[in-house]
Structure 1
Amino acid sequence: MKEKLAVPNYTVVTADNGKTFFYIEDQKKRRFASKRDVQYFQFHPKEIYTISNDQLQAFEDGSIIQASPVFSPPNRRLFKWKQDVYLLVHHTFCRIDPEIVKRFAFYHQPIKLYPSQFTFFQEGKPIVPLYRESLQEFDMSLYQTSGRKHSS
């Protein structure tokens, strides 16, 4: 039986002193195609952890992360398309309300998307504050009056 790993998902790691970088996602290791891709997706050196080669080898291989020629981004990064900000979740772009972005204090700026990159993934349900979501689902027709005046 495999031992539980102490490396959480959505973490950038290296096991060879920064020659190769991996993003742990869904308990798989996704290799960055180059150091330039680590920078493009706005991961900072303070966010990169060194782990042992044995720990790294315990993860299955996932798809490569690269900006081009094939756009294959990591999940849980912010992206900007036109005026809206999106969070990539399970390979789906979900528009995210600016209030949510502030609340969760993302430490990177949204990465600008090109049209071909935006259309590469489907668009999912927007991420909005809970109170706003409940207002959107609120059915006002249930509370409209019939037009009759009430007698007192």
Structure 2
Amino acid sequence: MKPLLFLDIDGVLNPWAAPACPPGYAEHRWRTRKAWLSPAHGHALRALATCADLVWASSWADDANTLAGKALGLPPLPTVTFAGPHADTGPDWKFPAVGRFAYGRPLVWFDDDFELRPGAKDRFLRRRDQPTLLVPVDPAVGLTPARLGAVTG
């Protein structure tokens, strides 16, 4: 069984904390959202999809597929459902929903917020009985080849 690879958008694929749109990225504007996205991410993620099942773990919800995913040339991906609007801001953040989605499967997860809730992160890791790799991403830089190498290398 292939591992699950969870993807956040803001801070991971969209380096929102950068002072300006980084080289290699293009600004995308939709009615309700704006993001800086790199076509290189689309290529790299499509390649990773041969050895992992990609899943959105983002507050973008359905917009992850219809906006960011489409702009990156990704096929529609499953999306983790968080309970109610902005439920990823609660005390345990995204961890419970990702844990339920990934039950019984190994996982890799790219996100920029792991250290905001260290207690929730520790509880999540203690409960996991499958291989689990949390890959922190700097929201001012976004997903880099070195961070991708944590999965492929």
User: What TM-score, normalized by structure 1, do the two folds share?
Assistant: 0.24
Structure with greater strand percent: 1
User: What TM-score, normalized by structure 2, do the two folds share?
Assistant: 0.24
Higher relative contact order (CA 8 A, sep 6+): 2
Structure with greater helix percent: 2
